[in-house]
Structure 1
């Protein structure tokens, strides 16, 4: 977690982290769609939204 903090303050690194999150969520959804599809709302809904955007 400590190595993620400097990435938040650098705009290019922050965009890289967000893009990596979206691609990872889309990949996980392609393998096990029920894992992300059952959590469309709430805090875990962020991962579902990232997966849909990443597609």
Structure 2
């Protein structure tokens, strides 16, 4: 099933994109900063969300990771 049709998978993809873009922006800021507009501007926006809402993104990652582990253990 595609991540577009499964809400939990869609949330996981979005959270991982936020975490990945934030990490890449911290390591190589010029890659993300030169694409602030257009289609690639989405990655810059994900990096901004990750930087500004870092505690909330971390909590979401912990909750989703725990939920995934529980799904694997009990199925």
Using structure 2 for the length normalisation, give the TM-score: 0.65
Structure with larger Rg: 2
Structure 1 position 11, deviation (Å): 0.4
Aligned length: 51
- Partner in structure 2 of residue 37 of structure 1: 33
- Partner in structure 2 of residue 47 of structure 1: 43
Q: Which has the higher helix share?
A: 2
Structure 1 position 52, deviation (Å): 0.5
Which structure has the higher relative contact order (CA within 8 Å, separation 6+)? 1
Q: Any gaps of 5 or more consecutive residues in structure 2? A: 52-75
Using structure 1 for the length normalisation, give the TM-score: 0.86
Structure 1 position 8, deviation (Å): 1.2
Q: Any gaps of 5 or more consecutive residues in structure 1? A: none
Moved over 6 A (4+): none
Which segment drifts farther, 5-14 or 22-31? 5-14
- Partner in structure 2 of residue 13 of structure 1: 9
